[in-house]
Structure 1
Amino acid sequence: MKTKNFEVIIVGGSYAGLSAAMALGRSLRKVLIIDSGQPCNQQTPHSHNFITQDGVPPLEITEIAKEQVLKYTTIDFVNDFAVRAKKNKKGFSITTQSGDVVTAEKLIIATGVKDIIPKIDGFAECWGISMIHCPYCHGYEVQNKKTGIMANGERAFHLATLVNNLTDNLTILTTGRVDFTSDQMAKLELHQIAIIETEISAIEHQDGHLQKVILSNGEKIAFDAMYTGFPFTQHSDIPVSLGCELTEHGHIKVNEFQQTTIEGIYACGDNSTMMRSVAGAVANGNLAGAMVNAELTKEHF
């Protein structure tokens, strides 16, 4: 890497990071994208609910985006992992896994999140293929299929309200004692949504495609798809190390312009919103890039 000093460093080069970079590149900003090539949807076969790219493999979208972004000559891209960051008088410095130290006036954090996958045999192999998280991203493709929701309480009820429109064959697997209000239970019964409290011990699948759920009592139940929600962590500890606040749900706290609680640092993509989607990441990444350019313009003009 010949250049060490940039106007903007973008940590994370998937949909949000590349979108932010394009906005900045079109304003001739000197930008470095640092990306390790580990997106959270790397196992997902197709992306949906994104106009012009509906049904396209996520990696293909990324490759097209990267090719287009790097046509802007003020943008550099390095395959590396940002391990440390420091605030300095002129902005920020980033140290990468390969030992490079680069500096910039502004930072955009587009590092995504890392799912804490349940330790259930077969689950990881199905995640993003038939064990899914979002009705908007995957629901149409599994409409009218035998569908499960692996969740409890408010999360399970919220998913049930959305998925009920897509299939009449719906079961909630709470993996423990139910945690619904009496009103929620009444509505679930009204829509004939079954509830199973027995814990799940394993998932039977064929190349990531769910076939049966094995319960702790040995019972096997056939399913075609299953929605689930579980905890996540930030994919990078750099935002917190720089003092960026997190929300109660664990996302980076940003304002309506994608600015974090630390001046000069912006965040975009899955790390800063509950709406995990390619379309959403592209949108708020574009906004972050534009807002950083506006801030630089204001400071330099």
Structure 2
Amino acid sequence: MTSAQPDYEIIIVGGSYAGLSAALVLGRSLRRVLVLDSGQPANRQTPHSHSFLTRDGATPAELATIARQQALAYSTVTIKTATVTRAIKQDTGFIVSTDAGDSYSAGRLLLATGLTDQMLPIPGFAECWGISVLHCPYCHGYEVHGQALGVLANGDAGFEMGRLIHHWSANLTLFTNGPSTLSPEQTAALKRHQITIIETPISVIPHQDGQLSGLLLANQTHYPLAALFARPPMHQASTLGWQLGCLHDDMGFVQVDDFGRTTIPGVFAAGDTHTMMRQVTVAATNGMRAAVTLNKEMLEETF
């Protein structure tokens, strides 16, 4: 193992809202920081971001551009476009390697690599994802409230999503995309609130540039909709947490304490990497929290 001094004090893997929020705080803390970002954020198809105080309705790209500019205003912050494929622990910290064959070292790592949504095998689903096939009513519900909405889910998830989305529109249909696995009590509660339950499989989601017109079912019935809410499976966008030996919970999230520390000393996590609360505000907040803790730890080591 090498004993050379690391290239940077902190490497942040992932340059979206959590990573850039951390970079901003660490830059203002005079820390030498490298942000490595693949340039493939999970919300890249989403037209507008909502519920972020002072930036409600901004595009995700606009938010990211401003965040990069503000982080780079601090001379100790460097941002590179690269996909990190490997991370190992050494005696002076960590070494990360990219798909381009470059390697960088740092005393500490912050994993802000986020999640990848697994698109359902329904024609039109991927094209509409983030535009009119939506995952979060807090992010996108207001824009379609009171209109004809659909929920694509089944069983307990179908019931919970149906109850949630019903707050934004009483004109709601639950599509189970096959035989219902709702309990009798759940079915009765949904019907009591005039939520129609459709079990016929979905054939295709007709759309124009990602804006759906409704759902076409296997029996050729077309249901007009303004938007469809769904929560497809998701998984870690990177295997770095596992490579480093960080513990993960049953859902695959990296386990952290209240300050973003993982179970591996020197490795922190922020953003969607450790929570299913996927709002921009949440990511920025826990990125800042991890950065403050990182700086505090480093100060304690040298003072």
Residue 215 of structure 1 and its aligned partner are, at CA, apart by 1.2
Tell me which residue corresponds to 1:166: 168
Cα deviation, 1:211-264, whole Å, max 9, x if unaligned, reads: 021112222211110000111121111111111122211211111111112111
Aligned: 1:35 with 2:14: no
Q: How high is the sequence identity, in percent, across the aligned residues? A: 47
Specify which of 104, 107, 116 is matched with residue 106 of structure 2. 104
Q: TM-score, normalised by structure 2?
A: 0.96
Count of residues paired in the alignment: 299
Provide the rounded CA distance (Å) in 2 between the counterparts of 1:271 and 1:35.
14
Q: Letter of the aligned partner of 2:293 in structure 1?
A: M
Question: Counterpart of 2:94 in 1: which secondary structure?
Answer: strand
Aligned: 1:89 with 2:91: yes
Residue 4 of structure 1 and its aligned partner are, at CA, apart by 6.5
Aligned: 1:293 with 2:295: yes
Q: Letter of the aligned partner of 1:255 in structure 2?
A: D
Question: Counterpart of 1:64 in 2: which secondary structure?
Answer: helix
Residue 183 of structure 1 and its aligned partner are, at CA, apart by 2.8
Provide the rounded CA distance (Å) in 2 between the counterparts of 1:53 and 1:47.
8
Runs of 4+ with deviation above 6 angstroms = none
Cα deviation, 1:116-139, whole Å, max 9, x if unaligned, reads: 101111111100000000010000
> What value does the CA root-mean-square deviation take over the aligned residues?
1.3
Tell me which residue corresponds to 1:121: 123
* 1:4/1:101 contact within 8 Å kept: no
Aligned: 1:139 with 2:137: no
Provide the rounded CA distance (Å) in 2 between the counterparts of 1:32 and 1:61.
20
Q: TM-score, normalised by structure 1?
A: 0.96
Tell me which residue corresponds to 1:243: 245
Aligned: 1:12 with 2:33: no
Tell me which residue corresponds to 1:59: 61
Q: Letter of the aligned partner of 2:255 in structure 1?
A: K
Question: Counterpart of 1:275 in 2: which secondary structure?
Answer: coil
Provide the rounded CA distance (Å) in 2 between the counterparts of 1:86 and 1:124.
34
Question: Counterpart of 1:83 in 2: which secondary structure?
Answer: strand
Q: Letter of the aligned partner of 1:154 in structure 2?
A: D
Provide the rounded CA distance (Å) in 1 between the counterparts of 2:30 and 2:246.
28
Cα deviation, 1:35-85, whole Å, max 9, x if unaligned, reads: 111000000000001111000000000000100011111111111111111
Q: Letter of the aligned partner of 1:198 in structure 2?
A: T
Unmatched tracts of structure 1, length 5 or more: none
Provide the rounded CA distance (Å) in 2 between the counterparts of 1:160 and 1:119.
22
Cα deviation, 1:138-179, whole Å, max 9, x if unaligned, reads: 000000110000011222222222211111100111112222
* 1:42/1:59 contact within 8 Å kept: yes
Question: Counterpart of 1:29 in 2: which secondary structure?
Answer: coil
Specify which of 204, 207, 221 is matched with residue 202 of structure 1. 204
Specify which of 152, 155, 158 is matched with residue 153 of structure 1. 155
Question: Counterpart of 1:259 in 2: which secondary structure?
Answer: coil
* 2:176/2:201 contact within 8 Å kept: yes
Unmatched tracts of structure 2, length 5 or more: none
* 1:125/1:208 contact within 8 Å kept: yes
Tell me which residue corresponds to 1:23: 25
Provide the rounded CA distance (Å) in 2 between the counterparts of 1:110 and 1:255.
15
Range that drifts further, 166-175 or 152-161: 152-161
* 2:6/2:93 contact within 8 Å kept: no
Tell me which residue corresponds to 1:47: 49
Q: Letter of the aligned partner of 1:46 in structure 2?
A: H
Cα deviation, 1:245-300, whole Å, max 9, x if unaligned, reads: 22211211111111112111111111211111111111111111111111111122
Tell me which residue corresponds to 2:194: 192
Q: Letter of the aligned partner of 2:92 in structure 1?
A: K
